[in-house]
Amino acid sequence: MTATRSFPRKVAWGVSAWLLGAVLLAAAVWLWPAGPVDHVVSRSWALSPEDHPPAPAGVPLAGEQPMGAVLSAGYGRDTVWVRLAVDPGLSRERAGEALLLRIRPGYLDDIVLFDPLAGSTPIGPVGDHHPLAPQLRPSTVFNLALAPGEQPREIWVRLRSQSTRLAHFEVLREHDLWRADARSTAWGALYLAALVMLLVWGVAQMLVRRDALAASFIALQAASLVYGASSLGFLRLFAEAGADVLWIDRLTSVMAITATGSAFGFNALLLREMQVPRWGHWLARACLLLFPLLLALQFTGDTLRALQLNMLLVLVGPVLFLLMALAAPRGIAGQSVSDAPTARRLGLAYFWLLLLLTVLAALPGLGLVDGGIISLYIIMLHGVVSGLLMLAMLTYRVYGLLQQRELLAAEAGYNRREVQREKAFRQDREKLLAMLAHELKTPLATVRMLLGTLGLAPRALRSAQTAVADMNAVIERCLQVGQLDEGALRVASQPCDLAELATRVVQAHPAHARVALTLPAPACVHSDPQLLETVLRNLVDNAVKYSPPETTVQLDLQVPDGGGVQLTVRNTVGPAGKPDPAKVFTKYYRHAQARRWTGSGLGLYLVNGLVQTLGGRLRYVDEGLGIAFALWLPQPTDKETVCG
């Protein structure tokens, strides 16, 4: 139990380290030097199919509306025109330094700048659908140089994109732009490093214990890593100047759908372990089937619709997952019974936070609400935070599995000790029974010998002899049952005549006049004659003992078409009643009304065990007014010695 007890401490230290890192990160953000001066003093946007600036400076466009820090135009095929009022005088001490337009995020398709100081000549284009040449130098975001000039003016930005038209525009001095680029690149690299660390942790978990949930976690982190590298613009840093980067745009779209599908798959597996209702399983499977359709739309060229539907699933999925989790009766798998409420609360906390983050990410992306700067990266934040939550849950799950494994090991040890104790007790009991049987057999033999010298009346003598025979039979059964249970019986199978054995057993029985034999010609079986004689003697004795005295016990010998030989012993039901079919071959079982007769409850148990040892079968048959026991035995092969 030492490893399990120390495991919560390790988890606590790990969580503390993460919290300390978060505090230091927040402090670094708080103490970070003030950002660069943004020379944009007002923003507005409108939709228009025109390819050139739709209105001169100061003239509003139809449908034009003010814009906050971020454009939230959702998905669509229309051209978005963004009007920016620029005042270079906000940084007079650096007048003359070039002004540049910086556009985020780095996965927009087509951006063109119109500056009145540049005349009617557009500046650009830049974007995922264009080579890198128009940019001054490689960057994870897009930038365009404004025309030289220090006077205030309005510039137009034309934006077209098949992905969500969620964008931030700022005009910075050249030195400030490079500082801003360095800062965003550092944060992006830190984000990708966190994803790599989570991916490595997932692979380590998979190596320790192969598990579908851990494999799904690895797939999710790998997809998030590739999507993050492409959407944050890191892949463009490795492209040559003037190179076609359209493949990056296509990869980003594919990985956006793949990452969402991987998240759905992970959550579906997690909910399965929380034992969601059946409708939850079918709903999760139906959602997963949608992602191959989205990828098919993407590969057929309908990228806009594929990404729009993907963002709708990002918004709707967490709502469905939370409803399923609320309907689930248990928490994540592997927890002990006492930890089940805690595990369920942990699972619910994960799905609540997942819902919050995805709503904050999806609503601005769909253009349903205006977003801030954070909305550009909330998907990235969602990837890290949800990854950390998954890590915490999987860690807790491993802790639960370790507890469960130690509990099972303790139970297995206890069971082994109980088995050994039971085995020792059974051996002692069998030794005692064997000793008592051997000690009783000699006095019984003496009693049987002396009965003839006492001058008893014939009826009294027969009763005494029957009682002694019954006691001797009980002792013999106890000895044989002990040998059977211990596997000490030695079987010497050989061809023998079942008809001859049955005749000999019946003739030796005191009540042989009540037994009717229906026997054909010699019926050879492959068996041990001594053990088979014990079986027949017990069956005949049982039938005679528990049937009315005036009835006949019938022995029928047949050779079925399927092979083998079958001997059926039938008798009429007597005062003892019918045995319970489910218990008839159980050790020590006796019908309540049969206790007036001498017996141990071992006869049929012994017979059934001997028949199985001999390779045969014994069936109990209820025939209404009577009962029967059907004994089937195999016949010898052609190569064996024939009977007689």
430: closest CA among 491, 488, 473, 472? Answer: 488
Least confident of 88-92, 405-409, 629-633: 405-409
Question: Would the pLDDT of 247 be above 60?
Answer: yes
Please give, one letter per residue, the 3-state secondary structure of 50-67. CCCCCCCCCCCCCCCEEC
Question: Would the pLDDT of 181 be above 70?
Answer: yes
Residues whose CB is less than 8 angstroms from the CB of residue 406 and which lie 6 or more positions away in sequence, other chains included: 1, 3, 4
Strand, helix or coil for residue 6: helix
Question: Would the pLDDT of 170 be above 90?
Answer: yes
Least confident of 34-38, 51-55, 270-274: 51-55
Q: Kindly report the average pLDDT of the chain as a whole number.
A: 79
Least confident of 81-85, 135-139, 348-352, 372-376: 135-139
Answer for the pair 496, 529: CB distance below 8 angstroms, yes or no. yes
pLDDT value of position 524: 83
DSSP type of residue 75:
S
Strongest mean pLDDT among 10-19, 249-258, 438-447, 587-596: 249-258
pLDDT value of position 638: 56
pLDDT value of position 43: 92
Tell me the per-residue pLDDT of 204-239, one tens digit each, with 9 for 90 and over. 878 877 778 778 888 888 988 998 888 888 888 877
Tell me the per-residue pLDDT of 334-352, one tens digit each, with 9 for 90 and over. 444 445 566 677 778 778 8
Amino acid at 176: D
Relative to beta strand 123-126, strand 65-66 is unpaired
pLDDT value of position 84: 93
pLDDT value of position 146: 92
Question: Would the pLDDT of 8 be above 60?
Answer: no
**How far is it, in rounded angstroms, from Cα 308 to Cα 194?**
28
Tell me the per-residue pLDDT of 467-485, one tens digit each, with 9 for 90 and over. 666 666 666 666 666 666 6
Question: Would the pLDDT of 576 be above 60?
Answer: yes
pLDDT value of position 335: 46
Question: Would the pLDDT of 83 be above 90?
Answer: yes
pLDDT value of position 394: 65
Tell me the per-residue pLDDT of 351-392, one tens digit each, with 9 for 90 and over. 888 888 788 778 888 888 887 777 777 766 666 766 776 677
pLDDT value of position 3: 44
Q: What would the mean pLDDT of 582-592 be, rounded to a whole number? A: 78
75: closest CA among 371, 319, 364? Answer: 364
pLDDT value of position 574: 84
Tell me the per-residue pLDDT of 622-637, one tens digit each, with 9 for 90 and over. 888 899 999 988 887 6
Token pair of 480 as six digits: 């044989």
Q: What would the mean pLDDT of 102-112 be, rounded to a whole number? A: 89
Question: Would the pLDDT of 185 be above 70?
Answer: yes
Which helix (H) or strand (E) is 429 found in, with range?
helix 378-451
**High-pLDDT (> 70) share of the chain, %:** 75
Long-range contacts of range 477-482, CB-CB < 8 Å, 24 or more positions apart?
A: 477/538, 477/600, 477/602, 477/603, 477/606, 478/433, 478/437, 478/600, 478/602, 479/433, 479/434, 479/437, 480/534, 480/606, 480/610, 481/587, 481/602, 481/605, 481/606, 481/609, 482/430, 482/433, 482/434
